[in-house]
Structure 1
Amino acid sequence: MNYLKYTQYVYLVFGAYFIYDGFTKVNDPALGNPWLSFMIAGLAVFMFFFRRKFAKKFEDRNKNS
């Protein structure tokens, strides 16, 4: 279960990618709607913090038992 410490950072990578994608869509309106990319980026950043909190809670629970 040691890999769970590192999988949360995948969400940050996806968030950065979708922020980049959103800005490219803002600069070129022919590419499509940028707001969906920004919403997915926001969700990815939220999931990063959620997973980080969950992993810390899981680690603390294992230390107490």
Structure 2
Amino acid sequence: MNKIWKYTQYGYIAVAIVLLIDAGTRWNEDREQAYFSIAFAVFMLLIFLFKRNFRKKIERRNNQ
């Protein structure tokens, strides 16, 4: 199960990249929507970092 979580956390990075691309394409047309996409991409990156740190903490605890 732990290997699944190790790889699924990178889904958050993939979603953040897609949202940043979306923001880039909407920048000239709808700036408000572009800002929303950027904010959501930052949120996804924060979730990725939190989940990665939490998973590593659990792995260290299990190895002891």
Deviations 1:4-60 (A, max 9, x none): 11011000000000000111110333x862111001100111111111101100100
Match of 1:28 in 2: 29
Structure 1 stretches (4+) deviating beyond 2 angstroms? none
CA distance in 2, matches of 1:61, 1:32: 44
Q: Percent identity?
A: 33
Q: Structure 1 unaligned segments of length 5 or more: list them.
A: none
Match of 1:42 in 2: 42
When the two chains are superposed, the root-mean-square deviation of aligned CA atoms in Å is 1.5
Contact 1:25 1:32 in 2 (8 A): no
Match of 1:60 in 2: 60
Please, what TM-score do these two structures have when normalized by structure 1?
Answer: 0.87
Q: Which moved more, 1:32-41 or 1:12-21?
A: 32-41
Please, what TM-score do these two structures have when normalized by structure 2?
Answer: 0.89
